[in-house]
Structure 1
């Protein structure tokens, strides 16, 4: 069984659920969402760097002028048309990595919206 399908311990599996069910105020919700944002950001950065290494054969640390996630997406992953000679397996890998990186970016954007809503609820005229 691969590590991706092996069962995790109950504590690891339930941490976010347990913390979420303890929320009892908008301020605590804001803090919880901030932690989700930080976690998603770290996941996006790590996945982008791992994808770079897997696709180029050179680890991100061994790369001069290290690219960020937007550059990795634009140069290696996003495809509206499959480049000539690309195998279906390679195209699927690249498309799925791009989708996951974009989804993590969507989490980041959604958590920012939650923060803005929290600020606006307290003081609609406050500068964001």
Structure 2
């Protein structure tokens, strides 16, 4: 059984206000997904959960991506399966970031359409 909540919400929108609220909801959901996925990735890579990691040792999203996941070349000694796993997680996090940026762009475009000279 699939959850068609997003499809059902999207097909009922008939105004700019409705679209603005829909995009804001997408942005909030993406933020939650990005936070959850980055914390889960940290836990899986470190062998201890995010909540069990002392606060000073917890990387933020960007640090996790840069230092542990995204690779332009594989470090010496890393296995192919580990490299693919890390790159896959990096790709998911980057895709969520792209959605977040797209929703922000949509919000700015809507403001610009109303008044192009208004500060964003």
Unaligned runs of 5+ in 1: 1-8
Q: Deviations over 1:72-117 (max 9, x none)?
A: 1111101000011111100000000000000000000000000000
Q: Deviations over 1:5-50 (max 9, x none)?
A: xxxx34xx21000000000011110100000011011000000000
1:89 aligns with 2:81: yes
- Which of 45, 60, 68 aligns to 2:60? It is 68
1:55 aligns with 2:45: yes
Q: Report the TM-score, using the length of structure 1 for normalisation.
A: 0.89
Unaligned runs of 5+ in 2: none
Instruction: Tell me the CA shift for residue 55 of structure 1.
Output: 0.2
Q: Distance in 1 between matches of 2:41 and 2:14?
A: 39
Which residue matches 1:41?
A: 31
Cα RMSD over matched residues?
A: 0.8
Runs (4 or more) in structure 1 with deviation over 4 Å come to: none
